Amino acid sequence: MNKSLGRGSDMYALQQSVKVLVVFVLLLFVCTSSPAKAQSCGATGVAVQVLGSGGPELQDKRASTSYLIWDQGKARVIVDAGGGSALRFGESGAKMSQLDVFLFTHFHVDHSGDFPALVFSSWFGDRTRPLPIFGPSGNKIMPSNTEFVHDLFSEPRGAWRYLSGMVEPNPEGTYELQPHNVARSSTPILVFRNADLAVYAASVVHGPFPALAWRVEIGSKRIVFSGDTNGEGEGLTQLASNADLFVAHNAIPEGATGVERRLHMPPSVIGTIAANAHVKQLVLSHRMLRTLGKEDQTQAEIRLRYSGPILFANDLDCFPVK
């Protein structure tokens, strides 16, 4: 009897232990699987969230270039939309209806490939106001920003012309895409302003491809994105002047030559620009197979010139702008 009671109580204790263990494992699963880190980005202030920290290579296991600026829990600005970034956009908790403006640095695929996916997702959302889209003017080898948007969506030749309603002028002032070209300027120019933010651009050198760097001023914060550039000229340094956060592209290692160097800036150039512009915080993104694993060398080259914080970006990282 005692024995059987003993076995019964042992069994009861075992069942309770198993229950506690199951609850613990479920809790652990819920905690680790929810993108809490992402959804809390910028909840109480201004923050930059990296949607894509990689370049064009898929083997880097990163989404391609894209950044969100959060302000008081709303995603207000997006810069670029490379492949994979639409999924990260969803994971971040952002909604297309929250965006004040869409900015393109240039139209390489790793900066623009997921744009149609974001646009189509917004068709199912609750956006009720136009979406201004700004990007560079074109040349022989690249479309302008307006050509890019119309080549995707407009009648009669757009690839996704079934969405042509989204680019037709809308007299009711409800949701439509409003693309504008930014005139070439080697010094910063004001491109967009509303009650809460101002956006400036400067043309940068990215080989033969028309490209822009962007500065967003929101509240008292100044955030600058280099985009892809080899760092030639003074426009980027002027644009980045006294930036609270400077996102620069770490696409090549020190010593790179040829086409790579004509398109991108090595760590020494990033460090020089960050130092001359007196930026308060430097975030390195657009990380590629040729720079991944060389972080110590990259940091050392930059540190020779720039003394502020240096951070390496990963997908969905959230950088509060202090």
Measured distance CA(143)–CA(272) in Å, rounded: 32
Closest approach of Zn ion to the CB of residue 261, in Å: 14
> Smallest distance, Å, CB 207 to Zn ion?
8
Minimum CB–partner distance for residue 288 and Zn ion (Å): 11
Q: CB burial class (10 A; 0-12, 13-18, 19+) of residue 126?
A: exposed
Rounded to a whole number of angstroms, the minimum distance from the CB of residue 319 to Zn ion is 22
Alpha-carbon span 282 to 288, nearest angstrom: 18
Put residue 122 in one of left, alpha, beta given phi > 0 → left and psi -120 to 50 → alpha.
alpha
Which of 16/139 has CB closer to Zn ion?
Answer: 139
Cβ atoms of 129 and 174 within 8 Å: the answer is: yes
Q: Give the strand order in the sheet containing 318-320.
A: 177-182, 131-136, 101-103, 74-79, 66-71, 46-52, 318-320
Q: Quickly count helices (H) and strands (E) in the chain.
A: 10, 14
Nearest to 214 by CA among 224, 204, 203, 228: 224
Assigned token pair, 114 = 């997921």
Q: Which is nearer to Zn ion, 53 or 122 (CB)?
A: 53
Query: How far apart, in whole angstroms, are the C-alpha atoms of residue 313 and residue 146?
Result: 30
Q: Which residues bind Zn ion (CB under 5 A)?
A: 108, 228
**Amino acid at position 244, single letter:** D
Q: In the 8-state DSSP scheme, what is residue 82?
A: -
Nearer to Zn ion, 46 or 256 (CB): 256
Cα dihedral sign, 125-74-223-85? negative
Of residues 42 and 210, the one with the C-beta less far from Zn ion: 210
Q: How far is the CB of 104 from Zn ion (least distance, A)?
A: 11
CB of 281 to Zn ion, least distance (A): 24
CB of 249 to Zn ion, least distance (A): 9
- Closer by beta carbon to Zn ion, 42 or else 82: 82
**Nearer of residues 228 and 317 to Zn ion, judged by Cβ:** 228
Q: Alpha-carbon distance 28 to 103, whole Å? A: 38
**Bond into 56 cis (ω within 30):** no
Closer to Zn ion at the Cβ: 62 or 108? 108
Q: CA 9 to CA 166: how far, in whole Å?
A: 68
CB-wise, 59 or 220, nearer to Zn ion?
59
Q: Least separation, in Å, of the C-beta of 64 and Zn ion?
A: 10
